[in-house]
Structures are given as C-alpha cells and as structure tokens.
C-alpha cells in the first residue's frame, strides 16, 4: 500500500495550475534554437523567466545582455544548446498550486538545533526519482527490494521523522532571499505532497540518508539545511573569499589567468585586458551562504518551536562535475576545497564544525577518466590521509564509487534513487564518525 503520510502541514486543497520559475539557471549557455516565440524586454533573468511563465507555450528562455543580441528570448523547447558568454538560460515548470492546511502549535524545543549545512551543485540538489514502478525509483527499492525500511511505516506509507527537519532553499547567484525558492521546509519525509507552496522539487538528494544516520546518532533536534543550485563550479561560481587568481597553460601553449574571488570573466589570456561579464567568481558561494544565514536568522519558521538557538555542527559537500570539465579547475580542486573548508567555518562562526566531502560516483580509484582529480582531492583532504594535520578527526572524504548504481554525475546517475540514498547514508555515517571524535579543530 502506498499512501501519503498525514501531517499537520499536509496540503489541504488544490486551487489550480501555475507556472513556477526554475531558478537553476545555466550561465553562459544559449538555447540557440528552440521553436522561438519571439523576444521581449526584461530587466534580468528572473524577469525573463517570469515573462516566459506568462506566455502561452513558453517553457524555456534565454536572457542575453550582449550588444549584438540583447533581450529575453522565449522558446518552446530547449534546443541548440551552446556556450555563449553573457547568456543566461532557464526554464519554467507547470505545477499545482495548493493551500496549506493549518499547522499545529509546535512544542518548545529546549536545546540548540544541531544544523548540518549541505552545499554543492545539481547532484546535491538531488535528481533521484521517488515514485513509480521502474527499478530506479525509491518506491521500487522500498516496496520490491525491502530497502530503506526507515522511510515507511508498518502499512507501507511514507513516514516522517519528527526529530530531523528538512530545509532546502535554492537561488541563483547572490540575488537575495525574495528571488529564491523554498523547496523544502518539513519534517524529513519522502511524501511528495508535503511541500512549501511554489516548490517544484519532486526528486530526492542525499539528505534522506544523511538525515537518517545523523538523526539516529545525535541526541538533539537536527536540521539538514541545504542551500545549492546546479551547474556551478568550485573554481568559479562557488569560489570562496580568499580564492586567488592563478595561471594555467593549456595544451596549445596558451597561458590563461583564471579569476580570483570577485573577479570576472572566468579566465582571460595572459597579456590581454579582461572584459567583465555579468557574473563573477564566488557569486554563487555568496548567495548560498546568504540564503542559509537567512534561514538561521528566522529559525522558528524553519524549525517549529525552536527557542534555544542553534549550532552549526557540520558541513556536507557534494560537487565537482562542473570543475571536472575544465582541466585547470580540476587540477586546482584540492586547493580550492581547502579554502572552502576553512572559509565556511569562519563564515558560520563554527570553528569546530565537522566537514564531509563526497567524490563523483563514476570515478574509481586509479582510473584516469574525467573527474579523477576531484576524487583525488576529496581523498587528499580527509584528515586520516595525513596531508592536512589540522583536519585529523574533523574532515572526511567519502569515496562514492562503490555506492553508485551506474551512469555518471553529469547525467545525474540516471536518476537512480539508490545511488542518492546510498551516498547519503555513507556521507551521514562519515559525519557520525567525525562527531564521535574528541579532537579539537585548529583553523
């Protein structure tokens, strides 16, 4: 039997359909052909997305600010995808508008919320399929393979944990909370009817496995707080403050300067003058951090009854596909990952917070296929490796290849729910092992 768990926050009624802007924009990408519906004026990519949503048959758009091809181009399909500096492309979803049922008054929480912040790109966002009869779905794994029994009750209905809060906020760049989309704000459950109004997120990430492992160990209220968006590189969009310029010689002998934090464009040939674009290094890092801080500043909205504050107890990082597509950024990944670990601890005033990083699932140790540098970097920063003595007992790298069911990070592992669940459980288990450590952190 498959039915929705009954919660006090369950959707109460259907009010109709509406188009929702998917803020997982693609930067410097043009949907060049796509059954164009013409162009309109727009102030930015959000305005362009909104105008697509208000146009019949429009499902995709490209917003361009270059002198030769400015405007908001509306499209029926995502066709002719190509690199195009200055272009920002995206899509809209048709979803059912719902009204939330009245919520009950939460009992006061008398101990600090233990917050675990998840960051990364599209696989951290989560693309695992939840419902359906095909083998890659979570429903099939639970119902037909008896996997992940903690997700359902004795009747086979999705159940929720009342000790683990699932919060996911997503926004593009550093555009502010008002333009972000609250994808999740509920007790941890696979029930897809329990969503904030306007959420278009209907797939799963690693948070279910992470929340289960941490929730079982931590004797305190837990919040898994995810702030991320797809198609972002650690060496560019997510570069933390302190990330420096560096030079790289390509296979043709050209020397390029790659941008440091706050600089633009992403790279320029040495000896030329860089021409900034409407994006800069670290803009997504700034945005993801700001959105997480916004949630924490209004804690009771996201963890009902919270009145004893919070502690950022850990960070979980799953990213690297975008960097793996640029050899210079892939080679720089370990350096940037160290910068990220140290900066996030400073950013959230959490010097003792544990840090778990996960590799790309398709990469096996010793195989030199695309992305191997990401795996090597993740394993190198693990405190047990000895490369960074200050990380002993407080940073762990998770080798995810054994947990992947196939495909690769760029294809979101074919949407296989088991990949996302297995990697989540492994990341959660690694975090628990670090929480058990009594070693202090030196930053």
pLDDT digits (tens, 9 = 90+) for 139-160: 999 999 999 999 999 999 999 9
Asked if 9 and 104 count as a contact pair (C-beta separation under 8 A), the reply is no
Show the domains of the chain with their CATH numbers.
16-98 (3.50.4.10), 108-236+281-435 (3.40.50.1110)
CA nearest 77: which of 36, 48, 40? Answer: 36
* Beta-carbon count within 10 A of 443 CB: 12
Mean pLDDT, rounded, of the chain = 89
Q: Taking residues 53-77, what's their average pLDDT? A: 85
Residue 98 has pLDDT above 60, yes or no: no
Asked if 109 and 309 count as a contact pair (C-beta separation under 8 A), the reply is no
Residue 372 has pLDDT above 50, yes or no: yes
- Residue 438's pLDDT is what? 58
CA nearest 22: which of 1, 43, 3, 49? Answer: 49
- Residue 177's pLDDT is what? 94
| Euclidean distance between CA atoms 139 and 130, whole angstroms | 6
Confidence of residue 27 (pLDDT cuts 50, 70, 90): confident
Weakest-pLDDT range from 6-10, 173-177, 219-223, 379-383: 6-10
Residue 239 has pLDDT above 80, yes or no: yes
| Euclidean distance between CA atoms 351 and 371, whole angstroms | 30
Give pLDDT tens digits for 160-185.
Answer: 999 999 999 999 999 999 999 999 99
Residue 130 has pLDDT above 70, yes or no: yes
| Euclidean distance between CA atoms 358 and 207, whole angstroms | 13
Q: Taking residues 319-333, what's their average pLDDT? A: 98
| Residue 108 or residue 7, greater confidence | 108
Confidence of residue 271 (pLDDT cuts 50, 70, 90): very high
Q: DSSP 3-state helix, strand, coil percentages of the chain (rounded to 5)?
A: 30, 30, 45
CA nearest 371: which of 402, 425, 430, 329? Answer: 329
Tell me the chain's radius of gyration from C-alpha atoms.
22
Angle at CA of residue 373, ends 370 and 374, nearest 5°: 95
| Euclidean distance between CA atoms 79 and 165, whole angstroms | 39
Residue 259 has pLDDT above 60, yes or no: yes
- Residue 9's pLDDT is what? 29
Regarding beta strands 222-227 and 113-120, do their DSSP bridges make them parallel or antiparallel, or are they unpaired?
parallel
């Amino acid at each position: 039997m498959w039915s929705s768990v009954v919660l006090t926050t369950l959707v109460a009624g259907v009010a109709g359909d509406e188009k929702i802007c998917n803020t997982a924009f693609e930067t410097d990408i043009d949907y060049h052909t796509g059954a164009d519906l013409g162009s309109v004026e727009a102030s930015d990519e959000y305005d362009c997305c909104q105008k697509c949503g208000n146009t019949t048959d429009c499902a995709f758009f490209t917003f361009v600010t270059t002198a030769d091809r400015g405007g908001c181009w509306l499209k029926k399909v995502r066709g002719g995808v190509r690199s195009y500096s200055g272009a920002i492309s995206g899509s809209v979803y048709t979803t059912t508008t719902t009204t939330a049922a009245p919520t009950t008054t939460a009992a006061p929480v008398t101990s600090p919320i233990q917050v675990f912040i998840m960051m990364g790109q599209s696989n951290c966002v989560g693309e695992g399929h939840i419902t359906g009869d095909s083998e890659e779905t979570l429903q099939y794994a639970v119902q037909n393979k008896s996997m992940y029994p903690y997700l359902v009750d004795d009747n086979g209905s999705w159940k929720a944990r009342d000790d683990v809060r699932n919060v996911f906020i997503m926004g593009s760049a550093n555009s502010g909370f008002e333009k972000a989309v609250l994808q999740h704000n509920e007790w941890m459950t696979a029930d897809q009817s329990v969503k904030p109004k306007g959420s278009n997120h209907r797939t799963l990430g690693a948070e279910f496995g992470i929340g289960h492992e941490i929730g079982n160990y931590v004797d305190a209220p837990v919040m898994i707080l995810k702030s991320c968006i797809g198609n972002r590189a650690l060496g560019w969009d997510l570069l933390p403050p302190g990330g420096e310029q560096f030079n790289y010689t390509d296979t043709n002998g050209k020397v390029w300067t790659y941008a440091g934090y706050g600089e633009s464009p992403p790279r320029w040939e040495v000896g030329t003058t860089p021409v900034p674009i409407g994006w800069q290094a670290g803009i997504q890092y700034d945005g993801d951090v700001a959105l997480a801080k916004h949630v924490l500043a209004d804690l009771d909205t996201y963890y009902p009854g919270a009145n004893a504050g919070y502690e950022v107890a850990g960070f979980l990082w799953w990213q690297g596909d975008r960097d793996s597509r640029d050899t210079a950024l892939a080679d720089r990944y370990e350096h940037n990952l160290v910068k990220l670990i140290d900066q996030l601890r400073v950013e959230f005033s959490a010097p003792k917070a544990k840090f778990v990083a996960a590799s790309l699932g398709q990469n096996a140790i010793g195989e030199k296929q695309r992305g191997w540098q990401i795996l090597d970097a993740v394993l190198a920063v693990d405190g047990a490796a000895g490369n960074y003595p200050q990380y002993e007992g407080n940073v762990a790298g998770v080798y995810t290849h054994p947990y992947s069911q196939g495909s690769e990070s760029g294809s979101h592992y074919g949407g296989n729910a088991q990949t996302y669940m297995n990697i989540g459980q492994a990341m959660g288990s690694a975090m628990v092992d670090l929480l058990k450590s009594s070693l202090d952190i030196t930053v």
